[in-house]
A and B are shown apart, each in its own frame.
Chain A
Amino acid sequence: MARPKPVAQDRGRGLGRRKFLTFLVAAPTLTVAAKWGLDGFAPATAVPSLPSLADVGDLGDALIIGIKPTSHLMVLEITEDNRMRFELPRVEVGQGITTSMAMIVAEELDARLGDVDIQLSDSRPELQFNQFTAASTGVRVLWEPVRQMAADARARLVAAAAKRWDVPAGQLTTRDSHVWAPDGRSLSYGSLSADAREESAAGAEPKESSEFKVIGKPTTRLDAYNIVTGKALYTMDLPIEGALPTVVARPPTIKGTVASVDDQEAKAMPGVVAVTRIPSGIAVSAETFYDALRARDALKITWHAGPNDNLSDSDIRSQLKGTVEPLAAPKVRDSYLDVTFDFAFVNHAPMEVENAIAHVRDGKADVWMPSQAPIYAQQTIAEAVGLPEEAVRVHVNRAGGSFGRKLFLDAGLEAARVSRVIGRPVKLMWTRQDDMKHGRMRPRSHHTIRASYTAGEVMSFEHRMAGVVVDFTHGLGEALTSNTDDPNEFPSAIYFNMSQANPYNLGLAQQSMKDLILKIPTGSWRSVYSGVMRTAEEVVMDELAERMGEDAITFRKRMVKANSGKAVLAKAAEAANWGRGMPSGHAQGVGYHSEYRSHVACIVELDASDHPHVTKAVLVADVGQVVNPRGLEAQMLGSTMDGIATALRAGVHIDNGAVRESSYGDFLWTKHHDAKFEFEFHSISTTWEPGGAGELAVPAVCAAVANAYARATGTRPRSFPISF
């Protein structure tokens, strides 16, 4: 496809096309697998490493290379009944990856979209790095290998038809899951599949973007029908025979432990089958969740304190202030800004609480769970229940939201532990209160920024962050550190360095992050460090522009490194009618962000009177080649709500080692009344290879809301969420 010349930060977009070979796997019907490189790769035997991040760019780039040795293990099968079945080594969490992948397969195969089945793959350790759903890399990383697989399959099917009809392959065409002869005869792919196994795909090439018929067309999610009819099955909906509803009594403070338990009364209650002690608390298994919950409440437990019982938010904030690296840049006389920011803990709070089904018996285990890192889940569960890794199967199921939460296997591990003890299949669910009080969070962070300027130029921009450490122990973190020689290198530091880049030319620009190690459950939260780092920077950009007497968008356009950045800002200004008169108490605000080889600008209008709320949101993104514009817009919409929530109201307090919030009643996520705004999304269409999009807009929207709030109220937001 056409590749524009990269400039500045556009570099890395549209890497040259790699050459692929494919080979056939023995199977009754055509089963294609992709393979890279002319000489192939031997299966890795040593601990696998991702390429050094310094050499590539970001995690997406690392994964593009990191999955090469194993990509030939992905499976695309053409079945005799003319279905195109692709086993997707990712999880659907609502981001629309199944629809995007089906579109890519349909495009390159010339199959009907309705004939493509995407099945979420069970855990397959041999896939190594190719079974993480993380960092907005799904489409970006699978784009080339999946297109190549499908193009190969199509070439083989054409070759089989050519033989069957004795017509030169060059005269045949493909559409609607059939091969067509010049005289109008057709053969379905299914009927050619067995023969196609013998054919070669030599020279098959994916299409040029100008030939796309499916990719780039707004397409409704393939699971939309199942969603609206209640047929979409989440893990707790799976009819696993005999699986016992199970809940866990948890400590009053984070990571408290059981001192003693009296379970007599609980055990005697109706429906109760077993009471099991596990490291995180006391599990009750019963015939229904109602029985299990009632019996849980009847347990008499005394608890040991947790490791944070002397800690509250103010203590954590002081510790973070003591952790952050001191500002070092010289202050230019009167022409500098010194600013600090604080961001509260934020729960992931997906609608589907943590849950998993596990059946451990006869030397093997099956676990059903929504998992972004199923290989790691398999290995960890195997170790916990004392089984060899091969004896454990993790069946990946669709998730009811994730936002990073399902990288971990908290419930899967608990379910497996209980099942091993009681010898029955266990259907374990956290309550909403469990998830809020013991769930994972985006960590609290503290930031200091010094920016100095003179004569219309920014001389330096120094940004120091300290955050409670993000837990990266979900497999990806281990992969990130496996190629560093420095044993002290934390995956958090590596992830920070590879994900953070100031997208502007701001003279001497520095960013750093220090971890504060606390035993508080944390995890990557949609956009990870960028959600806080880039929000803080964008607020400072507005204040710098004001100091320098320049319009906030003109200033950004002048400073931004990438041409794509200028373009999204310009388009947003035009679409949102930037600078239009606003009533008092209302204001516009802008935010921009670039990551994952993509760019986004957001302009919101906010009414700050009374209950501050957004009245209009305009987003403009350039994410390279768009697979499904409708899905892209959905991701932008979701990120908009995340940006609004984290800017204005959603945060979690810690009081003496316990989370204060307990449900959506006090953890103030957005609701319908926060979404009264007009929403407009524009995608600047480019033919760069796809960048990441799922998390892209969160920092830009959060910043735009903060900047609008600042203008509307004449205040300087320094602590987020603004009302907390």
Chain B
Amino acid sequence: MQRKFKFFVNGERVEVDGDGDMPLLWALRDKLGITGPKYGCGSGICRACTCHLDGEEVQTCQVPLSECRNKRVTTIEGLADGDQLHPVQQAWIDADVGQCGFCQPGQIMTAVALLERTSEPSDADIAAIENMCRCGTYVRIREAIKAAAAGDVGTPDDPPDNDKPDKPGKPDNPGKSQDRGKGGKPDVGEPEESVEEPSEPDDSVIGGIGSSVG
């Protein structure tokens, strides 16, 4: 039955006309144009659709709209505080985690939730994460989570020739945790071409997991 559901997405009040059984994933993507959460399986297995509901990690393909009334939903789009990336996002850039990138919004939302539950996750905690990555970025995800847990994010000295002042950069205060759900507007219907906007390239040598030999 069609009804109105009111809740908050990334700090903004939204209203969705729909059926109470509609999974939050499709409400976000098809009704609100918020495309960060991805469909990967539709059955709670791959976790590419992971977001936060009142601060808890959820698989949005499994959460019906009827359970979202008046709750706060945070998607990957709402994680940064304006231009200031969440430390976990920054750690992801530092470790150059993403390959195809498709699973990464879900991986990041899961990692943020994990770090809120456990400030120093063990290898076993990280190994217990269920999110699939078909590109096989797990080792770098582990590295990024550990760096974020240690507050070791952001590379302070980017070489000047890669400066890109018009692009959102790294947090000035790496490691400082931020309120989730603040700022960060949903990208409703914003067109974007397939040109990749460069972030600040990081020229530091590969840390930790191997190095070049001559």
Q: How far is the CA of A270 from the CA of B1 in the complex (A)?
A: 9
Task: Verify if B23 is at the interface (C-beta below 8 Å from A).
Answer: yes
A85 CB, min distance to chain B CBs, angstroms: 8
Task: Verify if B52 is at the interface (C-beta below 8 Å from A).
Answer: no
Task: Verify if A555 is at the interface (C-beta below 8 Å from B).
Answer: no
Residues of B within 8 Å of A212, CB to CB, are none
Residues of B within 8 Å of A119, CB to CB, are 193-195
Residues of B within 8 Å of A133, CB to CB, are none
Residues of A within 8 Å of B179, CB to CB, are none
B213→A230 contact, CB < 8 A? no
Q: How far is the CA of A239 from the CA of B76 in the complex (A)?
A: 18
Task: Verify if A313 is at the interface (C-beta below 8 Å from B).
Answer: no
The verdict on A683 contacting B213 (CB below 8 Å), with A120-B194, A351-B100, A401-B134 known, is: yes
Q: How far is the CA of A674 from the CA of B211 in the complex (A)?
A: 23
Determine the residue in chain B with the shortest Cβ distance to A574.
B213
A353→B40 contact, CB < 8 A? yes
Task: Verify if A203 is at the interface (C-beta below 8 Å from B).
Answer: no
Determine the residue in chain B with the shortest Cβ distance to A432.
B41
B104 CB, min distance to chain A CBs, angstroms: 5
Task: Verify if A236 is at the interface (C-beta below 8 Å from B).
Answer: yes
B96→A676 contact, CB < 8 A? no
- The interface size of chain B toward A, counting residues with CB under 8 Å, comes to 94
Task: Verify if A364 is at the interface (C-beta below 8 Å from B).
Answer: no
A232 CB, min distance to chain B CBs, angstroms: 5
Contact of B40 among A351, A633, A674, A684 (CB under 8 A): A351
Q: How far is the CA of A355 from the CA of B204 in the complex (A)?
A: 37
The verdict on A353 contacting B39 (CB below 8 Å), with A230-B105, A642-B136 known, is: yes
A40 CB, min distance to chain B CBs, angstroms: 31
Which parts of A190-242 form the interface with B (CB within 8 Å)?
217-234, 236-239
Residues of B within 8 Å of A490, CB to CB, are none
Q: How far is the CA of A615 from the CA of B108 in the complex (A)?
A: 25
A228→B22 contact, CB < 8 A? no
Residues of A within 8 Å of B210, CB to CB, are 633, 679-682
Q: How far is the CA of A46 from the CA of B68 in the complex (A)?
A: 61
Task: Verify if A717 is at the interface (C-beta below 8 Å from B).
Answer: no
Binary A-proximity of B73-109 (CB < 8 A = 1, otherwise 0) = 0011101100001000110111011111111110010
Task: Verify if B48 is at the interface (C-beta below 8 Å from A).
Answer: yes
Task: Verify if B203 is at the interface (C-beta below 8 Å from A).
Answer: yes
Task: Verify if B197 is at the interface (C-beta below 8 Å from A).
Answer: yes
Q: How far is the CA of A510 from the CA of B2 in the complex (A)?
A: 67
Centre residue among A119, A219, A222, A672 by max chain B CB count within 10 A = A672
B198→A222 contact, CB < 8 A? yes
B138→A675 contact, CB < 8 A? yes
Q: How far is the CA of A439 from the CA of B29 in the complex (A)?
A: 24
Task: Verify if A724 is at the interface (C-beta below 8 Å from B).
Answer: no
Task: Verify if B56 is at the interface (C-beta below 8 Å from A).
Answer: no
Which parts of B21-52 form the interface with A (CB within 8 Å)?
22-23, 26-27, 29-31, 33, 35-43, 45-46, 48
Which parts of A111-136 form the interface with B (CB within 8 Å)?
112-114, 116-120
Residues of A within 8 Å of B99, CB to CB, are 94-96, 401, 634, 638
Q: How far is the CA of A118 from the CA of B197 in the complex (A)?
A: 9
Task: Verify if A277 is at the interface (C-beta below 8 Å from B).
Answer: no
Residues of B within 8 Å of A231, CB to CB, are 187, 192, 197
Selected interface stretch from A259-267, A286-294, A529-537, A601-609:
A286-294
Task: Verify if B133 is at the interface (C-beta below 8 Å from A).
Answer: yes
A352→B141 contact, CB < 8 A? no
The verdict on A679 contacting B139 (CB below 8 Å), with A236-B39, A432-B46 known, is: yes
Residues of B within 8 Å of A225, CB to CB, are 93, 167-168, 197-200
Determine the residue in chain A with the shortest Cβ distance to B203.
A217
B23 CB, min distance to chain A CBs, angstroms: 6
Residues of A within 8 Å of B137, CB to CB, are 634, 637-638
Task: Verify if A502 is at the interface (C-beta below 8 Å from B).
Answer: no
A588 CB, min distance to chain B CBs, angstroms: 18
Residues of B within 8 Å of A227, CB to CB, are 92, 98, 101, 104
A630→B209 contact, CB < 8 A? no
Residues of B within 8 Å of A287, CB to CB, are 30
Q: How far is the CA of A96 from the CA of B191 in the complex (A)?
A: 23
Q: How far is the CA of A673 from the CA of B46 in the complex (A)?
A: 14
Residues of B within 8 Å of A682, CB to CB, are 210-213
Contact of A400 among B2, B42, B102 (CB under 8 A): B102
Task: Verify if B157 is at the interface (C-beta below 8 Å from A).
Answer: no
Residues of B within 8 Å of A102, CB to CB, are 198
B206→A629 contact, CB < 8 A? yes
Contact of A228 among B27, B98, B200, B213 (CB under 8 A): B98
Selected interface stretch from A60-68, A249-257, A662-670:
A662-670
Task: Verify if A561 is at the interface (C-beta below 8 Å from B).
Answer: no
The verdict on A114 contacting B76 (CB below 8 Å), with A226-B197, A290-B26 known, is: no
Q: How far is the CA of A353 from the CA of B199 in the complex (A)?
A: 27
The verdict on A640 contacting B136 (CB below 8 Å), with A223-B98, A675-B142 known, is: yes
A188 CB, min distance to chain B CBs, angstroms: 14
Task: Verify if A349 is at the interface (C-beta below 8 Å from B).
Answer: yes
Contact of B201 among A222, A228, A229, A237 (CB under 8 A): A222
Q: How far is the CA of A396 from the CA of B48 in the complex (A)?
A: 23
B140→A232 contact, CB < 8 A? no
A219→B201 contact, CB < 8 A? yes
Task: Verify if A98 is at the interface (C-beta below 8 Å from B).
Answer: yes
Contact of B45 among A352, A639, A665 (CB under 8 A): A665
B102→A290 contact, CB < 8 A? no
Q: How far is the CA of A671 from the CA of B162 in the complex (A)?
A: 35
A351→B199 contact, CB < 8 A? no
Q: How far is the CA of A571 from the CA of B210 in the complex (A)?
A: 13
Task: Verify if A397 is at the interface (C-beta below 8 Å from B).
Answer: yes
A677→B130 contact, CB < 8 A? no
A432→B42 contact, CB < 8 A? yes
The verdict on A226 contacting B196 (CB below 8 Å), with A113-B201, A400-B102 known, is: yes
B66 CB, min distance to chain A CBs, angstroms: 13
Q: How far is the CA of A634 from the CA of B196 in the complex (A)?
A: 19
B100→A114 contact, CB < 8 A? no
Determine the residue in chain A with the shortest Cβ distance to B75.
A230
The verdict on A401 contacting B102 (CB below 8 Å), with A119-B193, A224-B96 known, is: yes
Centre residue among B37, B39, B214 by max chain A CB count within 10 A = B39
B38→A94 contact, CB < 8 A? no
Determine the residue in chain B with the shortest Cβ distance to A674.
B138
Which parts of A137-181 form the interface with B (CB within 8 Å)?
175-176
The verdict on A94 contacting B101 (CB below 8 Å), with A118-B195, A220-B93, A665-B43 known, is: yes
Residues of B within 8 Å of A94, CB to CB, are 98-101, 135
Q: How far is the CA of A673 from the CA of B130 in the complex (A)?
A: 8
Besides the contacts A102-B198, A232-B101, what 20 more A-B pairs have beta carbons closer than 8 Å?
Answer: A114-B164, A117-B196, A175-B161, A222-B201, A227-B101, A229-B77, A230-B187, A236-B35, A237-B35, A289-B29, A289-B30, A293-B42, A352-B102, A403-B134, A431-B42, A432-B43, A630-B206, A634-B96, A675-B142, A682-B211
Sample 19 A-B pairs with CB under 8 A, ordered by A number.
A112-B162, A114-B198, A220-B93, A228-B97, A234-B38, A239-B190, A351-B102, A351-B135, A400-B103, A432-B42, A634-B140, A639-B136, A671-B129, A674-B138, A675-B127, A680-B210, A684-B213, A685-B213, A685-B214
Q: A-B pairs with the 9 shortest C-beta distances?
A: A230-B36, A225-B199, A641-B136, A400-B102, A94-B100, A675-B138, A227-B101, A94-B99, A237-B35
